[in-house]
Amino acid sequence: MDMKNQSNQSAFPIVVVGHIDHGKSTVIGRLLYETDSLPTGKLEEIQKSCAKRKSPFEWSFVLDSLQIERDQAITVDTTQIWFNADGNRYVIIDAPGHEEFLRNMITGAARAEAGIIVVDVAEGICEQTRKHAYLLQLIGINDVIVVINKMDSVNYNQHSFDKIEIDIKAYLSKIGLNTVSTIPVSAIDGENLNTKTKKMNWYTGQMLTEALNGLVINKTTRTMQLRLPVQDVYRHLQKRIIVGKIESGSLSLTETVRVLPSNREAKITGFIEWPVKSKKNGVADESVAITLDKDLFVERGHIISTTTSPPKLSNTISVRLFWLGSEALSTGDQIELRITTAVYDVIVESIITVIDTSDISEIQSDQIKHNMIADVVLRCRKKIVYDLFKDNSKLGRGVITDGYRILGGCIINSGKNLTITSKNLTKVPQSVGIQERANVNGYKGCVLWMCGLSGSGKSTLAMLLQRDLFARGINVYALDGDNIRSGLNRDLGFTEAERNENIRRVAEVAKLFCDSGTIIISAFIAPTIESREQAREIIGNNFYEIYINADIQTCEARDNKGLYAKAKEGKIRDFTGISAPWEPPINPDLEINTMQETPKESLERIIEYLNQKILSQKVI
């Protein structure tokens, strides 16, 4: 059976650990043979090699892909092996077992959902077995299967097995690991791996493959809450098609879902397939393309979930981090955190405890060196969408990268959840409707959202426009950034997360004014596309984006307060265009170039647009 061509996307990952001499590689090699999962010709290849070398055949050679392993009879790297048993697919991560390569075990084990611990019945629990078990617990693995190997060496004696079973279960329980099953095997003969043996009639428990299948059933992602990370969004035939792989749970046609981090909700209106089919649902491990009944802002990295049990949102998370970088990681360092399809720029806010994997000792340090584990607090400007690892490993596990280079991994243990919403609320309908107000006024309320760099002319134009409309008897009000931050939003700073919250609050206020029949002129930098799209979602169809365009050189020349100069000197942090990003609108409703127009000319263009698009429209 050729396993190389099989995808590991839906395979259940298990790490196998054990002392160098306890037969771990033999267990795996024989298990592949017993389940008919060996690559085509692999067994014959190894047998021929052994005959050529005039050395006896060993099942461990199945895994020994490196010449050094055959020569030294040790496994030096983590190897991934795929196999099938009773209709379930697995990927076994074979981790090194000897002291010299103990730290490398972290690389493999950090990706696993469960563990297999191999113990020699004659030698019992050694120090390395205890270290391996503790490392599994440190990296978040809860369930383990204990394989007590080499039963043939004690003539399949039940008393020998019982003694080891009592000792190992007591130790695992003490460190917080759940022993799913303890199985007596003779791996060299394949006994109790996938076939029950008559040589141990006293044992009535599960074979290894049965225990593994039980783990898959208990940990099936299809019964968990929906988590659909967005991979991309396409436009086709005037439809926005959202694509991604369902990591857990399921979703159905007409189901209401929530999109995070925006916390907006919409219904599934269709599953798109090519060629066209009548698909009505999707389940974990499936890639889907869906459409929604609302034109929400959705992009790569967003998460679609159930409305009743969404993932958490936070700017700060506490993680257990496994550092594989060659240079030490220090407090204050900025790193890249990937959780499914999302990428976050995070800062190491604090290092709580560092664990030296060579001797499992805890130390206090402000640095994490190569191959060490640490409890760390990470902070991000954006809201991180996540689950606790214990609740859902799909969104509870992250990878630390530098571009495409992997520097480590982490599991999320806690965070300050920002998704808590008010409950037991009932909206009170207005006694005067929006249409009634429009009939009286002769126009509908709307929001003219002016965005642009500091110094582009937003506030100047907003105040000129407000005066002009007021003189014409139109209900109008201008919301200016500095004015809002002096009152309603005085608790907010200028990090990306706080800027987004600033815009969210302003949008909610603007919507209330808009519903009252007032024309709102909003003058805010609103530096990111995401923040402006969020405002558009909140306000709805009466949102009009006006881009006040002036390049940074022009804005800097107009800056009488010297803000740009201070930002360049580092005296002002998170200043848009200098030390914080500026994302100009891609397709605004109106663009005003204040580098080429006088304020009067710009005002006339805005009024012309307003007359054509808004004030001249029939209100009925």
Count CA atoms closer than 13 A to 434's CA, side-chain side.
13
Q: Which sign, positive or negative, has the C-alpha torsion 592, 593, 599, 600?
A: negative
Centre a 10 Å sphere on the Cβ of residue 90 and count the other Cβ atoms it contains: 24
pLDDT recorded at residue 76: 42
Domains belonging to the chain, first-starting first, are: 12-218 (3.40.50.300), 222-306 (2.40.30.10), 312-415 (2.40.30.10), 434-615 (3.40.50.300)
pLDDT recorded at residue 561: 81
pLDDT over threshold 70, residue 579:
yes
For the stretch 336-372, pLDDT in tens is 999 999 999 999 989 999 987 666 778 888 899 887 8
pLDDT recorded at residue 217: 66
In single-letter form, the type of residue at position 179 comes to T
Confidence band for 176, pLDDT divided at 50, 70 and 90: confident
pLDDT recorded at residue 547: 96
E strand intervals along 467-582 = 476-480, 519-523, 543-549
Distance CA 205, CA 196 (A): 10
- Mean pLDDT value across residues 103-112: 55
b/e code 44-64 from CB counts within 10 Å (16+ = b): eebeeeeeeeeeeebbbbbbb
pLDDT over threshold 80, residue 13:
yes
Name the region of 452 (left: φ>0; alpha: ψ -120 to 50; beta: rest). Answer: left
Distance CA 108, CA 371 (A): 12
Distances (CA, A) of 283 to 90, 252, 279, 288, 304: 19, 9, 12, 9, 13
Phi, psi (rounded to 5 degrees) for 275: -65, 165
Q: Are 303 and 396 in contact (CB under 8 A)?
A: no
**What is the three-state SS of 415-433?**
ECCCCCCCCCCCCCCCCCC
Distance CA 524, CA 454 (A): 9
Distance CA 346, CA 163 (A): 49
Nearest to residue 563, comparing CAs of 581, 579, 549, 547?
579
pLDDT over threshold 70, residue 376:
yes
Confidence band for 401, pLDDT divided at 50, 70 and 90: confident
pLDDT over threshold 70, residue 74:
no
Largest CA distance in the chain: 102
| Two tokens, residue 95 | 């981790």
Distance CA 150, CA 158 (A): 13
Count CA atoms closer than 13 A to 389's CA, side-chain side.
24
Exposure of 327 by Cβ count < 10 A (0-12 exposed, 13-18 middle, 19+ buried)? exposed
Distances (CA, A) of 374 to 326, 349, 587: 16, 13, 45
pLDDT over threshold 60, residue 61:
yes
The secondary structure element, H or E, covering residue 376 is: strand 372-386
- Which of 11-20, 88-97, 429-438 comes out lowest in average pLDDT? 88-97
pLDDT recorded at residue 418: 61
For the stretch 456-482, pLDDT in tens is 999 999 999 999 999 999 999 999 888
CA 314 to chain centre: 12
pLDDT recorded at residue 21: 85
pTM of the entire structure? 0.62
Confidence band for 424, pLDDT divided at 50, 70 and 90: low
pLDDT recorded at residue 512: 94
For the stretch 35-58, pLDDT in tens is 888 777 777 877 787 788 777 777
pLDDT recorded at residue 226: 93
Q: Are 324 and 371 in contact (CB under 8 A)?
A: yes
Confidence band for 18, pLDDT divided at 50, 70 and 90: confident
Nearest to residue 576, comparing CAs of 505, 507, 495?
495
DSSP tag of 328: P
pLDDT over threshold 50, residue 72:
no
Q: Are 154 and 121 in contact (CB under 8 A)?
A: yes
For the stretch 123-136, pLDDT in tens is 999 888 888 888 88
> Could you give the strand order of the β-sheet that contains 178-184, starting from the edge strand earlier in sequence?
79-85, 88-94, 12-18, 114-120, 143-149, 178-184
Maximum average pLDDT range among 158-167, 533-542, 575-584: 158-167
pLDDT recorded at residue 283: 85
Distances (CA, A) of 83 to 6, 22, 37, 196, 420: 9, 22, 5, 19, 42
pLDDT recorded at residue 8: 38
Q: Which sign, positive or negative, has the C-alpha torsion 263, 416, 353, 96?
A: negative
List CB contacts of 515: < 8 A, sequence separation 6 or more. Answer: 430, 434, 445
- Mean pLDDT value across residues 293-317: 90
pLDDT over threshold 90, residue 420:
no
pLDDT over threshold 80, residue 453:
yes
In single-letter form, the type of residue at position 142 comes to N
- Mean pLDDT value across residues 608-619: 76
pLDDT over threshold 50, residue 282:
yes
pLDDT recorded at residue 273: 82
